[in-house]
Each structure stands twice: as structure tokens, then as C-alpha cells.
């Protein structure tokens, strides 16, 4: 049995399309169709229902997919165990909330590149719903969410932690001098917020809606650095994760506002699909994320993970 045919079968099943599988693998659609047909002949079973331009797994196809994942995992493990070269090479695809990208490529990234020059990274940014779709369709090897806590047996939680979020403003904002700020007073301020529906912004809106309150921002943007720069000019108030504002708050350029009766739980979680085989390459990148993006990590230290 040709391992390439099994790999093509896995991609076609997870992407739900021969065309998408062909684009991902760099094959023609006819090659994908031929490989699937060849596998069906070998197994003497129909793996896909083909109706119009859509495909779906048959019962035998779902059974074969489970075995294909096991074969793929064992094949990768065998290749890695036989590989004497210590330098990791290959591509890793990760996806995360937009505001986390600055942290990912910040302090410690130079050390990571020096340790793993053979790794090529593709970083995607999206909202939580799209992040889950990417990992479900195997378009991302792992994801880092910034949202309410995700409980789902489809995913393995590699690392998680609760993230602090606060209303913040420039030090010239009149609210900064109040010992405790009523929500009714706060929502009348001009707000500069992340895009509606995006993780912590959505959680803030839902909490306010539960209190029969709503904020109409004067500006919405996914660029948290731009938001902070505008706040420092005393142009409004925002609601941001603490990791975005820590340095500005420590330097006195921004102030966290003491708002009465308001709290939301935001979690940062590094997840991958339970059927995903975690290669040494993916493991190395996940460890970089743990050390640089989660509490307790040390971005100035060499990564704890070392390939065997």
C-alpha cells in the first residue's frame, strides 16, 4: 500500500474536497482522484460518497481514516527515530488571535531562530471560530485562542492560563483620578476598541449587554499597538488584555481604571486536534510559544525541548 495514497486520503477527508487536497499537496485534481481510486481498489471498499461536486466519507471511509491516521503517525515516528541529523527542518503552521502576534515575534524570537534555522513558520490570525475551523480542517498544526475557556474533547490542551483584562486610558483621562468608576459613567466615554466579535471584545459586549449597557466606539481596529498609541494621546478608553498594556502601565503612560462591578474571564489556550500527530518540529514551536507567551516561561533561556 502506497503511503502517499493514505496521505492524500487523509487530506481529502479532512478538507472535504479533492480540489483543496490537491492545492494543499501540490498535485493536480486528477492525481488526487486517481490515488483515492487506487486506494479504494486496494481496500475493496468505497471510501467517499461522490454527489455532484461534493464528497463525504462513507462508513468504511470513516473506519479507514482512523487507521490512516495511525499509519501516518507511526510512519513519521519511524522517520524521526531513524534521522541522525539534529537540525530540525520543515514547515509549521500556527494560528492565533491577532493581538498575540506581537508577543509571539517579540523577545525570544531571535533565540528561537538561532536554535532552529531549518524551521519555516506560517502564522495566521483569526477570531476564535475561524481558529477552530483551521485546526479542525488541518489547515493549522495548532492554535492559540484568547477567549472564554474551551472545553471540548476534540482538542488537546497543551497549555492554558487565565489572562487579565482591564479598561485602560491615558494618564490625562479624568476617570483616572476616581477611586472607583461606575459603569454608567464609564460607558459614556469615547471608546477605541478591537473589532466587534473578536474574543475579549465580544466577552466585554456580552457582559455589558447582561447589564443592559452598550458601548458605541468611536474607532474599531484589530491593531492593539495603534489602540495604545491613541490612548496615550488621551483620545479615549479601551478594554485590553494586560499583556498588551503591561509596559505602558509600568512606565506610567497608561492607567488601568478601577471599574465597579465588572469582570470577565478570558483564557489563553494552546490547543491542537486530538488526531493530530505532533512532530518534533511542531513540538519545538509549541515550546517557544509556552516560554514566550505564557506565565512562567523565560524567553531568554534556551528552549526546554530538544529533539532526540
- How large is the average pLDDT for residues 83-99? 80
Cell numbers found for residue 110: 531571535
* pLDDT given for residue 80 in this prediction: 66
Q: Give the long-range contacts of residues 247-253, CB within 8 A, separation 24 or more.
A: 249/168, 252/171, 253/170, 253/171
DSSP label at 191? B
pLDDT of 93 > 80? The answer is yes
pLDDT at 82: 60
Number of C-alpha atoms within 13 angstroms, CB side, residue 63?
7
pLDDT digits (tens, 9 = 90+) for 184-241: 899 999 999 988 878 889 999 999 999 999 999 999 998 889 999 999 999 999 999 9
Determine contact, residues 285/92, Cβ cutoff 8 Å: yes
- Coil vs helix vs strand at 136: helix
- Which pLDDT does position 190 carry in this prediction? 95
CA angle 196/201/205 to nearest 5° reads 85
Look at the pTM and tell me if it is higher than 0.85: no
pLDDT digits (tens, 9 = 90+) for 3-13: 888 899 999 99
Rounded Cα distance between 129 and 126, Å, is 8
* Digit-coded pLDDT (tens) for 119-159: 999 999 988 999 999 999 999 999 999 999 999 999 999 99
How many CB atoms are located within 10 Å of the residue 183 CB? Answer: 16
Mean pLDDT value across residues 267-288: 93
What are 171's three cell numbers? 494618564
Amino acid at each position: 500500500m502506497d503511503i502517499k495514497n493514505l496521505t492524500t486520503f487523509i487530506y481529502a477527508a479532512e478538507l472535504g474536497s479533492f480540489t483543496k487536497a490537491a492545492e494543499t499537496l501540490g498535485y493536480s485534481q486528477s492525481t488526487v482522484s486517481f490515488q483515492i481510486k487506487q486506494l479504494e481498489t486496494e481496500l475493496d471498499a468505497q471510501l467517499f460518497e461522490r454527489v455532484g461536486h461534493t464528497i463525504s466519507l462513507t462508513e468504511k471511509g470513516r473506519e479507514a481514516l482512523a487507521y490512516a491516521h495511525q499509519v501516518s503517525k507511526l510512519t513519521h515516528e519511524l522517520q524521526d527515530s531513524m534521522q541522525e541529523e539534529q537540525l530540525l527542518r520543515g514547515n509549521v503552521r500556527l494560528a492565533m488571535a491577532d493581538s498575540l502576534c506581537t508577543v509571539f515575534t517579540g523577545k525570544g524570537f531571535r533565540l528561537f531562530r538561532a536554535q532552529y534555522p531549518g524551521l519555516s513558520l506560517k502564522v495566521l490570525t483569526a477570531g476564535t471560530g475561524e481558529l477552530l475551523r483551521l485546526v479542525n480542517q488541518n489547515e493549522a498544526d495548532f492554535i492559540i485562542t484568547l477567549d472564554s475557556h474551551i472545553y471540548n474533547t476534540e482538542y488537546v490542551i497543551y497549555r492554558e492560563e487565565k489572562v487579565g483584562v482591564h479598561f485602560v486610558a491615558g494618564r490625562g483621562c479624568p476617570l483616572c483620578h476616581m477611586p472607583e468608576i461606575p459603569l454608567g459613567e464609564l460607558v459614556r466615554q469615547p471608546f477605541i476598541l478591537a473589532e466587534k466579535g473578536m474574543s475579549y471584545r465580544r466577552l466585554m459586549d456580552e457582559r455589558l449587554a447582561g447589564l443592559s449597557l452598550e458601548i458605541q466606539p468611536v474607532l474599531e481596529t484589530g491593531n492593539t499597538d495603534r489602540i495604545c498609541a491613541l490612548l496615550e494621546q488621551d483620545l479615549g478608553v479601551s478594554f485590553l488584555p494586560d499583556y498588551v498594556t503591561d509596559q505602558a502601565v509600568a512606565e506610567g503612560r497608561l492607567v488601568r481604571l478601577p471599574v465597579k462591578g465588572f469582570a470577565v474571564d478570558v483564557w489563553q489556550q494552546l490547543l491542537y486536534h486530538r488526531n493530530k500527530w505532533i512532530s518534533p518540529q511542531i513540538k519545538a514551536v509549541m515550546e517557544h510559544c509556552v516560554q514566550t507567551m505564557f506565565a512562567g516561561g523565560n524567553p531568554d533561556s534556551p528552549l526546554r525541548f530538544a529533539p532526540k
